[in-house]
Structure 1
Amino acid sequence: MKVFKYILNAILLIAVLWSCSNDEMNNLDFTKSAVAPTNVEALFTITQDNTGLVSIAPSAEGAVAYDINFGDTSASATIKAGKKASHVYAEGSYTVGIAAKGITGLTTEYAKEIVVSFQAPEFGTDPIIANDAAKSKQVNVTVPNDTKFAMFYDAYFVENGVETVLTANVGDKVSYTYANPGTYTIKVVLKGGAIATTEYVVTDFEVTEILQPIKSAPAQPGRQATDYISIFSDSYTNVAGSDFNPYWWQNTIYTAFSLNGDAMLQYSNLNYQGIQIGAAQNVSGMETLHIDVWSATANTIEFYPLPVGIAAENEKFFALTLLADQWNSFDIPLSYFSDLGLALDNIHQFKFVGAGSIFVDNIYFYKAPSAPSVLSGTWKLAPEANAFKVGPTYGSGDWWGNSAGDVTARACLFDDKYVFANDGSFKNVMDGSTWVEAWQGVSEGCGTPVAPHNGSAAASFYYDEVSGKLTVTGKGAYLGISKPYNGGELASPSNAPDSITYDVVLSDNDNTMTLSLYYGAGFWTFKLVRDVPPVVGNWKLAPEAYAFMVGDSYGSGNWWGNSADDVTGRACLFDDEYIFSANGSFKNELGGSTWIETWQGTEGCGTPVAPHDGSTLATYSYDATAGTVTVIGTGAYLGIPKPYNGGELSDPANAPGSITYDATFSDGGNTMTLVLYYGAGYWTFKLVK
Structure 2
Amino acid sequence: MKTLKYILSAIVLLTTAWGCEDNSFDNLDFVESAVAPTNVSALFGVTQDNTGSVTITPNSEGAVSYSVQYGDDTAEAETVSQGESTTHIYAEGSYNVVIKAIGITGLSSEITLPLEVSFKAPENLEVTIANDEAVSKQVNVTATADYAISFDVYFGEEGNDDPVSGNIGETVSYVYTEPGTYTIRVVAKGGAIETTEYSQEFEAVAIVQPIASATTPPTRNVNDVISVYSSKYTDISGVDFNPDWGQSGQGSSYAEFDLNGDTMLQYINLSYQGIQFAAAEDLSEMEYLHMDVWTADVTTIETSLISLTNGEKPVVSELNADQWTSIDIPISAFTDQGLTVADIHQLKFVGDPWAGGTVFIDNLYFYRASTSEVSGSLPIDFQSDYVFSSFDGGSIATVENPDTSGNTSANVAELIKGDGQTWAGSKITVEEPYDISENTVVTMKVWSPRVGLNVLMKFEDEAVWPDTSATSEITATTTVANAWEELSFTITGVDSSLYYYNLVLIMDNGTVGNGSSDYTIYVDDISIATFLDFEENYAMSSFDGGSISAVENPDTTGNTSTTVAQLVKGAGQTWAGSKITVEEPFDIEEGTTIKIKVWSPRAGLNLLMKFEDAAAWPDTAATDEITVATTVANSWEELTYNITGVDSNIDYYNLVLIMDNGTMGDGTDNYTIYVDDISQN
TM-score, structure 2 as length reference:
0.37
TM-score, structure 1 as length reference:
0.37
Larger radius of gyration: 2
